C-alpha cells in the first residue's frame, strides 16, 4: 500500500469507502490525495465488473485499491484479486480457523489454495512471468480480516498469529450492535483497545473507520496505522444538503 501503512508508522495511511456505482468516485478520491480506497462489495450494490473498472482506474491514478468482499467466498476473493486489487478486507472473521480459510483463498500454493489466473490484470494479461505473479500474490497482496464481534476480539491474538494475515480492521459499528450497546460503551471501548494491543503485540497494522475528520484524527492518536474516513455517498449527500440549506437560508434571511 503506502510506505506509511506499517505497524508503528507515525502517520496513518488515509483511505475512504467507495459505495457509489461510478468510477468517477475513484478519480475524485485520487485527486483529493487519499492513499487508498476500499471498494465496498459488502454494503453497497456494486458488482464485480464495476469493481474491476474501479481497480483499473485506481491503479492508473497510483491509488491503492482495496476491496471489501461480501463474505468468505473463495471464488469472489480470487476474482477480485485477479482484477488487480491490492488487498481485501474480509468481514466477520471470528476465529483463527476462518482466518486460515480466508488466507488460503488469498495465497497461491503452497501457502494457500488460490487458483492461477495469470491472464488477468493481476498477471498483466499473461505477460507477467508466472513466478512474479505468484510472488506478488503471496507477498504483496494484503489479507485483512475484520474483527466485528466479541468472539473475534477475544480470538484476536490467535487470528493475528495466522500466517498470511497482514493486518486487522476493527469494526466498531458491528461490534457495538452485536453487544446491544452504543459505540461509546465502556465494554466496546475495552474490546477495541484489546484489539489494538493484540495487533501491536503481533507487529501488524490495525485499521479503523471514522465518519469525520475529527474522528480520523482521534483514531490516529489511538495508534491506528490506517484509517478509512467517510465515503463517497455521504460526502455527496452532506455537501448537497449543506448547499441547498445555505442557498435557502440566503433567500429567506
* Catalytically annotated residues: 43
- CA nearest to 26, candidates 62, 2, 1: 62
Which three cell numbers, joined as nine digits, stand for 152? Answer: 473475534
CA atoms within 13 A on the CB side of 104: 10
Residue 212: CB partners within 8 Å, gap ≥ 6? 229, 230
C-alpha cell of residue 56? 483499473
Kind plus residue range of the DSSP H or E element containing 105? helix 96-106
C-alpha triplet 38, 85, 175: angle, nearest 5°: 40
59: Cα separation from own chain's centroid: 16
Rounded to whole angstroms, how far apart are CA atoms 40 and 29?
14
Q: Which cell numbers hold the place of 198?
A: 493484540
- List phi, psi (to 5°) of 131: -60, -35
Q: Please enumerate in sequence order all residues whose Cβ is within 8 A of that of 147, keeping only pairs 6 or more positions apart, or say none.
A: 93, 153, 156, 159, 168, 169, 170, 171, 175, 195
Amino acid at each position: 500500500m503506502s510506505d506509511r501503512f506499517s505497524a508503528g508508522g507515525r502517520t496513518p495511511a488515509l483511505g475512504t469507502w467507495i459505495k457509489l456505482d461510478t468510477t468517477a468516485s475513484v478519480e475524485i478520491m485520487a485527486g483529493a490525495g487519499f492513499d487508498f480506497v476500499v471498494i465496498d462489495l459488502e454494503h453497497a450494490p456494486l458488482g464485480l465488473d464495476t469493481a474491476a473498472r474501479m481497480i483499473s482506474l485506481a491503479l492508473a491514478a497510483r491509488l491503492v485499491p482495496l476491496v471489501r468482499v461480501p463474505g468468505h467466498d473463495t471464488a469472489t476473493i480470487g476474482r477480485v484479486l485477479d482484477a488487480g486489487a491490492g488487498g481485501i478486507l474480509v468481514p466477520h472473521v471470528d476465529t483463527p480457523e476462518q482466518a486460515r480459510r480466508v488466507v488460503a483463498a488469498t495465497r497461491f500454493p503452497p501457502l494457500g489454495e488460490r487458483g492461477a489466473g495469470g491472464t488477468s490484470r493481476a498477471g498483466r494479461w499473461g505477460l507477467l512471468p508466472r513466478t512474479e505473479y505468484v510472488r506478488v500474490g503471496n507477498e504483496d497482496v494484503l489479507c485483512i480480516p475484520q474483527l466485528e464481534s466479541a468472539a473475534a476480539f477475544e480470538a484476536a491474538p490467535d487470528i493475528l498469529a495466522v500466517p498470511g494475515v497482514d493486518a486487522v480492521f476493527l469494526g466498531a459499528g458491528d461490534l457495538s450492535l452485536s453487544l446491544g450497546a452504543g459505540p461509546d460503551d465502556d465494554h466496546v471501548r475495552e474490546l477495541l483497545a484489546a484489539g489494538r494491543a493484540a495487533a501491536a503485540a503481533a507487529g501488524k497494522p490495525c485499521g479503523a473507520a471514522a465518519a469525520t475528520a475529527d474522528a480520523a484524527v482521534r483514531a490516529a492518536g489511538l495508534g491506528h496505522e490506517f484509517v478509512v474516513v467517510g465515503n463517497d455517498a455521504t460526502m455527496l449527500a452532506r455537501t448537497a444538503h449543506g448547499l441547498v440549506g445555505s442557498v435557502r437560508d440566503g433567500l429567506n434571511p
